[in-house]
Structure 1
């Protein structure tokens, strides 16, 4: 079975007329009839019924049609994407990332993307991991940069690298001089962390439990930026990915061990939605930036 057989079949299924179908695919009527017979022999059942001058699609043909249409659409989109050069791509790309990636990674990727695809408008949102998953499932987003969702919900996750979370303290904090800390040493320490419903917080709670530590959580926030600011202005400690700090002044990052909290960021997209050429190009741009930079090293 070849691609032309499917195109001939679709033309006849839509017109139910050999003459018009042959004209649509630019072949003679006899050639079309021969190709349809070949397809029916391979399928093992008749796809069309001939009643005099009438052509009717059979029940098998109707079932076959339902599979053929999406296959041909996908092939046509793929061929179109190959023919269209980056400079000609237009439209809008909707992406979202959690805070730690929106500080440095996404702006760097955007600068490269916009140089190559200047006619594509990019809309970027900073959302929680759950918000990104919901946006992809609903079709409001094309691509996400986040952590692996606890519930896949029809999403594809592609790991990018392993990310180490570190303790952050103000420059004048008593722990500021430490080169490394064991998690158990945070027992009783005054801290600010993400709220319990965040997957990162749940992972940190598991690390504390494994180390036998019970820190004193005095502030729970739903975003990284205010947590960093709170650490800078108080005696509280926090735990974030170092990439989330950017060039924040007055805050230090200290590695943690026993256990070391590690998360795996990655690309997220819907398995059901069509991935546009712009979305694929952005994903490849992110892969290249991560590979060429210090992220995750």
Structure 2
């Protein structure tokens, strides 16, 4: 497995051998032996970079599937029922770092300190791919997924809203902000690499306005810092109020469409005891724990 996968990754026998800590001659010999056994050439070595042949593409596709199944089997064997040890792989889209990930992880670690938690921030598209490739166990995302292999469990509603600091001119406003007023408001927005930005741009287009974008950033924490200290506003999920009560959340008219935050997993995948416990904990925190306000924040900020 590792020999062929490394060659495919590096597209060079020398670099693949170095990564595997074996000699190039040993690696080449192993590949030739396998090709002789299969009766097919897997790699085209004629160019500057090693390329998969048609046979190699087919063989590697099934090889990766087998490799993923093997890793799943190993995790199943290592899974301990009492949660005294193990590993939990969680992915999440960026906005959840500001209010959701920390309290959930903190409580889970306090209850199960022997579980090693691996956190990865990625885009929603990357989350779906990672779930399909069995790279993560669970993910925080939205219910608007494209892959039929992803299982969706709705958690709570979320709505994008206008967010300002306490020194902003709109701080005394008692009525929702209209599109015309929003167009005159300097904004600090996330870059187009964020899924939220797609919804924001769609809102501008549907309202027929050209926003006053003062700056763009690929860091949510940077945007929040700028907004909290100045007279620039931003548009972010109203649910961040759970952790950022120093900011003000202004209703828009018309409001952004509601979205549903969801816990994502791969359909039919082996569920470790740790991932099952994690999902149960989230449900409990939303039902009667510190996350329960998330189920009412969105509705309140648009009243």
Normalised TM-score (structure 1): 0.64
Q: Which has the larger radius of gyration?
A: 1
1:214 to 210, 213, 225: 210
* 2:204 pairs with 1:205: no
Cα distance change of structure 1 residues 128 and 244 upon mapping to structure 2, 3 Å threshold: farther
Cα distance change of structure 1 residues 134 and 280 upon mapping to structure 2, 3 Å threshold: same
Q: For residues 127-171 of structure 1, what are the alpha-carbon distances to aligned partners after superposition, in whole Å with 9 as ceiling and x for unaligned?
A: 333343333233221111112355326322221111122211121
Q: For residues 37-61 of structure 1, what are the alpha-carbon distances to aligned partners after superposition, in whole Å with 9 as ceiling and x for unaligned?
A: xxxxxxxxxxxxxxxxxxxxxxxxx
Give distance in 2, aligned partners of 1:180 and 1:166. Answer: 14
Contact 1:183–1:259 (8 Å) recurs in 2 = no
Q: How does 1:1-297 map to 2 (within 5 A)?
A: 85-88=81-84, 90-152=85-147, 154-184=149-179, 185-245=181-241, 247-248=243-244, 251-271=247-267, 273-292=269-288, 293-297=292-296
Contact 1:210–1:259 (8 Å) recurs in 2 = no
Figure out how many residues of one structure are paired with residues of the other and give that number: 220
Contact 2:178–2:253 (8 Å) recurs in 1 = yes
Give distance in 2, aligned partners of 1:87 and 1:152. Answer: 31
Give distance in 1, aligned partners of 2:286 and 2:222. Answer: 26
Cα distance change of structure 1 residues 246 and 236 upon mapping to structure 2, 3 Å threshold: same
Q: For residues 222-265 of structure 1, what are the alpha-carbon distances to aligned partners after superposition, in whole Å with 9 as ceiling and x for unaligned?
A: 23211112223443210111333554475322122313342211
RMSD: 3.0
Q: Secondary structure at the match of 1:196?
A: coil
Contact 2:123–2:195 (8 Å) recurs in 1 = no
Q: For residues 204-237 of structure 1, what are the alpha-carbon distances to aligned partners after superposition, in whole Å with 9 as ceiling and x for unaligned?
A: 2222233333211232222321111222344321
Structure 1 range deviating more: 164-173 or 101-110: 101-110
Cα distance change of structure 1 residues 286 and 247 upon mapping to structure 2, 3 Å threshold: closer
1:45 aligns with none
Give distance in 1, aligned partners of 2:251 and 2:119. Answer: 31
